[in-house]
């Protein structure tokens, strides 16, 4: 059976039952649970430090009204970064390469930020559709453009995360296939290709973390406009 490079992005199934739910739920089991002790182990200390620093950096530009979002944004960050990193392991499936999953996160959260702005400060929220000092003749055109850009935001969030992870996985598979084919024909070239694959893997680890951070950061910026 000939396999395509895109077969790695197919949702796994067992007896016709999709296993994407397990791929989403199981990563949560690797996080250590906090204890009541004053002193924890190094892993718990590192995890707490990372969460505290990330939450501080994310909430610093927001006012007190936006701090209510600290839990959901930090949880989303941990969820995305864990799934993205685990997806780099061999024989694993990366749920965040599915546009439907990413849109399921992006669309409701973006819509909630918009509704928060419309409810709390409707004048300011609608004011974003028309920049200050706009000439009268350009007013209808700019309102249409700003409205379109507003509705494109959730699509851009989902597509950005999907495209970056998909491109990285495809490139890694292409280079790994090339190294495997060349190992018997040109061992020196295969060794150089393997070195490139190793460097690319390190880059993909960075990309997996950065894309999770960018996803949540953009949501916080959208929230900042509406609180």
Residue 30 has pLDDT above 70, yes or no: yes
**Rounded mean pLDDT of 219-223?**
90
pLDDT at 203: 93
Residue 1 has pLDDT above 50, yes or no: no
Give the up-direction half-sphere exposure of residue 175: CA atoms within 13 A in the CB hemisphere: 17
Residue 157: pLDDT band (50, 70, 90) is very high
**Rounded mean pLDDT of 151-172?**
92
Residue 204: pLDDT band (50, 70, 90) is very high
Tell me the percentage of the chain whose pLDDT exceeds 90.
30
**Rounded mean pLDDT of 72-80?**
90
Per-residue model confidence as pLDDT tens digits over 5-23 = 777 777 777 777 777 777 7
Higher-pLDDT residue of 40 and 52 is 52
- On whether the CB atoms of residues 149 and 86 are closer than 8 A, the answer is no
Q: Would you give the distance in Å from CA 2 to the centre of its chain?
A: 31
Residue 112: pLDDT band (50, 70, 90) is very high
How many Å apart are CA 165 and CA 198, to the nearest integer?
A: 17
Q: Is 16 left (phi over 0), alpha (psi -120 to 50) or beta?
A: left
Residue 113 has pLDDT above 60, yes or no: yes
């Amino acid at each position: 059976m000939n396999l395509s490079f895109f077969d790695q992005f197919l949702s796994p199934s067992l007896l016709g039952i999709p296993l994407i739910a397990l791929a989403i739920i199981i990563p949560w089991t690797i996080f250590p649970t906090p204890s009541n002790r004053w002193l924890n182990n190094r892993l718990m200390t590192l995890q707490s430090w990372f969460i505290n620093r990330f939450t501080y950096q994310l909430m610093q530009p927001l006012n007190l009204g936006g701090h209510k979002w600290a839990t959901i944004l930090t949880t989303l960050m941990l969820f995305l970064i864990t799934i993205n990193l685990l997806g780099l392991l061999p024989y694993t499936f990366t749920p965040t390469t599915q546009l439907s999953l990413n849109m399921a996160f992006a669309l409701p959260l973006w819509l909630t930020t918009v509704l928060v702005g419309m409810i709390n400060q409707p004048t300011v929220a609608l004011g974003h559709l028309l920049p200050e000092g706009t000439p009268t003749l350009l007013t209808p055109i700019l309102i249409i453009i700003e409205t379109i850009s507003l509705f494109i935001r959730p699509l851009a969030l989902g597509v950005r995360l999907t495209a970056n992870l998909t491109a990285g996985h495809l490139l890694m598979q292409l280079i790994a296939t090339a190294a495997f084919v060349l190992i018997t024909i040109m061992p020196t070239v295969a060794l150089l290709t393997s070195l490139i694959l190793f460097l690319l893997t390190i880059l993909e680890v960075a990309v997996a973390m950065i894309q999770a951070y960018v996803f949540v950061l953009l949501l916080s910026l959208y929230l900042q406009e509406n609180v």
